[in-house]
A and B are shown apart, each in its own frame.
Chain A
């Protein structure tokens, strides 16, 4: 018998010998397809019991958690475990009522897996909880996809993922949007997949009536309950680190961790990521819609108009071109240009470019009769910007705020030769350390 499933866009085929009926749980009903195209993964399902080879080492152990008044606690009983040897990865699950120990065998480098369900008889459930989630985990991990604890919604043409630790409000958030008539992709677990048009979120079968749903991902919010609705943009390593902390992952396999880290870094640089403290009612939906729909061009135009009126503004740095003086996520305080204090070489300024701002350092100035020309460059850029005029300078950086600390920006970039001396020293030190190790 053959059962074909499509989960998160992945085609999975379960197949058994003649005479053995495959009966997945109800929650898979809407994910089963009659289309018999070539699957990405085939799992051969056998009703008998198999044992982990004696030479395989246990690499991950997940004991059963039980509910207690103070929160979940370890019951001391086994739930599932992962073992590995050179040939394969072995996932053993401990089930009760009736007691059985299904074993999933994932031969390395092959998309043809074996599952021994440890059931007698002619009918078998190939995907009992938590085996289904484990199969999806290993499949997403191998494909470079991201499995994340989170709720996902599609509102006003935008796809938003809300993630956070347990109790942060992921389900609450899904309910708020659901009651406003928005499409909820899922309220508990999502698989994020990089597709041709960008990152997309997919539902997975968790509850009885789940069905395949998906939406583009525009913004990912790390949520927590707060006293008001406040969002703060995140970028770079901080954004990636916070997303990573909410991904479903097993930390025993270095290659899998590296793949996940690469995918999360790509995600964090492709979509917007923010921290969001929220009040659990419909106002957060209005807040997010009001925030989300302001374009970068409008924000830059508003910033320019405020600076032109003498108002200081703050923006968040998004790139690495001024590293290490300005890092992604730094809050940059911009002062309006002061006609009494002409700009000097070494100052860092915000230039209007492509409907937004570029914050770079002035490297040369040429004062003409009518106009002053500036040459600028990012401290970390190899190539200088084209010459600009003072009309393009929206403001200058007064200070930056990094992790709640206010910092003045240096007047000079680190000269290139110091950078190269440091690199050489690191290389020499590395050589010495290496020599010692020998």
Chain B
């Protein structure tokens, strides 16, 4: 269960690539990049992905995002958790 105190970090089983203005997550299966299972991130997805550093918890990410995009922190938190659930196969979570 992802909560506001969860600290996400990138899984080593995914690579992030920026190609022609598109940002892609490419899963690695047995250390082979699976080009048939690409996942494209939208602008806010990229922003969240790049804030994930294994140190910030979701509360920190929410605060930064709410400030950057000038959105309501509650709304931002909901959107961030929804996004993290979608890409949770590409992340690790730990609690503080």
Contact = CB atoms under 8 A, between A and B. Distances in A.
Contacts of B22: 294-295, 298
Interface stretch (A106-114, A229-237, A255-263, A422-430): A229-237
A311 B35 contact: no
A290 B39 contact: yes
Q: Is the interface of A mostly helix, strand, loop or mixed?
A: mixed
A33 interface: no
Interface in B24-71: 24, 26, 29, 31-41
A291 B39 contact: yes
Given A232-B36, A301-B20, A315-B35, 10 more contacts: A290-B41, A291-B38, A291-B40, A293-B40, A294-B24, A301-B19, A311-B33, A312-B33, A314-B32, A315-B36
Contacts, number: 67
A158 interface: no
Which residue among B15, B29, B32, B34 has the maximum number of chain A CB atoms within 10 Å of its CB? B32
Contact of A297 (B20, B33, B40): B20
Interface stretch (A78-86, A120-128, A302-310): A302-310
Contacts of B12: none
B36 A306 contact: no
A299 interface: yes
B35 A314 contact: yes
A283 interface: yes
Contacts of A297: 20
Given A228-B89, A294-B40, A305 B19 contact: yes
A256 B3 CA distance: 57
Interface residues of B, number: 22
A17 to B, nearest CB: 60
Contact of A298 (B20, B32, B33, B86): B20
Interface in A263-321: 283, 286-287, 290-291, 293-295, 297-299, 301-303, 305-306, 311-316
Interface of A: 228, 230-233, 283, 286-287, 290-291, 293-295, 297-299, 301-303, 305-306, 311-316, 331, 333
Contacts of B33: 303, 306, 311-314
Nearest to B33: A313
A224 B29 CA distance: 22
B36 A233 contact: yes
Which residue among B15, B33, B40, B86 has the maximum number of chain A CB atoms within 10 Å of its CB? B33
B36 A316 contact: yes
B72 interface: no
Contacts of B38: 291, 294, 299, 302
Contacts of A316: 36
A170 B37 CA distance: 22
Interface string B7-28: 0000000010101101010100
Contacts of B36: 232-233, 314-316, 331
Nearest to A306: B33
12 contacts: A230-B37, A293-B40, A294-B38, A298-B20, A301-B19, A302-B17, A302-B35, A302-B38, A303-B35, A305-B17, A306-B17, A315-B35
